[in-house]
Structures are given as structure tokens and as C-alpha cells.
Amino acid sequence: MLIALLALFTEILPIIFYLVFLKRNRGEGLWVIFLYCIVSVLTEVLGGIMHLQIIFACYNIVQFTLFSLFFYLSLKEKKFKYIPIAGAVVFYVIAIRNFTNSNFDSFSSSLASIFFIPYCILLLYEKMRDSNIEFVYYDKKFWIIVAFFLYFSGTLFLYIYIYTLPERQRSNYWQINNFFEILKNILFCVSFIMRKPEKSAFSMDSLDT
């Protein structure tokens, strides 16, 4: 119970830090993550009050949409931008077919993780190759990508096997999700607090001139 409350509390923190450091977060596409954090908090509140599975089904689709939009906006190579679009088409077909399930749609959640893990690797690859980024860990989006990667890697097998477990054990194993939720939100806060790196007068591009 304590870790669940802590997870809910940490979902509010990124919203606060984004607004407090709003000037630092403009023009980075981080508004998508801010919007996701708001949707996440609203889902937790409504789900706790109404206890309707359709709320979480809608959240699953909205979450995938926002994350895919973030990756689409962040990718620079045009040929890579088609990847989240194609992934979204496949996901929507499956998620909508399972939309009316009375239980948690573990298959769609697992599929989202399977899509987003390679998305993170692809975006990190682009960041590492970007000559305009002197140190990748100074980039605000780097911490968002790491947050995604750790969260979806850590919860993938939980989503796959959660409904193969006896009902009494599910709440215990769900603490894994809460732990990675906390970690993800802390990394979001790190990204929102960071200053934008100043452009160095000396860069790899200057070597070509």
C-alpha cells in the first residue's frame, strides 16, 4: 500500500517540475510527456473511484499514442519516423479488439512494451550519433528515453504473466510495476529540472569547415 501511494505521489511531481521550470522545457517536445503525466494521474484517480476496466483500456491507448508521438517528434531520420507509425497501426488494431475485455488487457500492455523497447534503443542510437550533442547525458530527452527503457523493460514480463498468477499473488507482484513507475517519474523530474545545454562554439561540425 505504501509503495502504491508513493508511486501516485511521484506521478504528480513531474507535472509540478515541468510547470516550475517551464522555460527550460519549451521547444523540446516534452509537452507530450507532461500531457502523459496529467492523463496518468487522472486515470489513477478515476480508476480508483469508479473501478471500471474501460478507463484503463482507454488509458492504454492514450499512453501508447502519446509515447509514439514523442518518439515520432524526437526521431530525426525520416526513414525512422515510419516505424512508430507502423507500430501504432498494429497496436490500435489489437487494442481496439480487446477494448471491451472485463479484465486488464495484459496482451496489449505487453505489446506496447515490445514496441517501445526497440524505439528507445533506436532513439539512443540517433542521440549517440548526433554531432551536436557533446555529452548525451546533458540532453533532456536522454533521461526521458532511459525512463521509458527501464520502465518497459522492467514491466514487460510482469504484464505477460500477471494473469497466470493466483489472484492473491497479483497485488504482491504488482509492486514491481509501482517500483518502476517511481523510477520512471524520478527520471522525468531529472529531465524537467535540467537546463538546456548551451551550444558549444567547438563541435564536430566545425571540424568539417
Residues whose CB is less than 8 angstroms from the CB of residue 67 and which lie 6 or more positions away in sequence, other chains included: 36, 112, 116, 119, 148
Residue 1: the pLDDT is 66
* C-alpha span between 75 and 80 (Å, rounded): 7
Question: pLDDT (tens digit, 0 to 9) for every residue of the chain, 209 residues total?
Answer: 677 788 888 999 999 999 999 999 987 789 999 999 999 999 888 887 877 778 888 888 999 999 999 999 999 888 889 999 999 999 999 888 877 776 777 788 889 999 999 999 999 988 888 777 777 888 899 999 999 999 999 989 888 887 777 777 777 777 888 899 999 999 999 999 998 776 544 444 433 43
Amino acid at 62: V
Amino acid at 153: S
Greatest alpha-carbon pair distance for the chain in Å reads 66
pTM of the model: 0.85
Residue 201: the pLDDT is 44
91 contacts 111 by C-beta, under 8 angstroms: yes
Mark 38-49 as b/e (b = at least 16 C-beta within 10 Å): ebbeebbeeeee
Sign of CA dihedral 180, 144, 8, 106: negative
Angle, helices 53-74 vs 106-129, to 10°: value is 20
* C-alpha span between 29 and 27 (Å, rounded): 6
Pick the CATH number of 2-197 from 3.30.70, 3.20.20, 1.20.1070, 1.10.1060: 1.20.1070
Which of 90, 183, 85, 86 lies closest to 143 in space, CA to CA? 183
* C-alpha span between 195 and 113 (Å, rounded): 29
Helix, strand or coil, per DSSP, at residue 6: helix
* Helix segments in the chain, DSSP class H: 2-20, 31-50, 53-74, 78-97, 106-129, 140-161, 167-173, 175-193
* Residue 79 exposed, middle or buried by CB count within 10 Å (0-12, 13-18, 19+): exposed
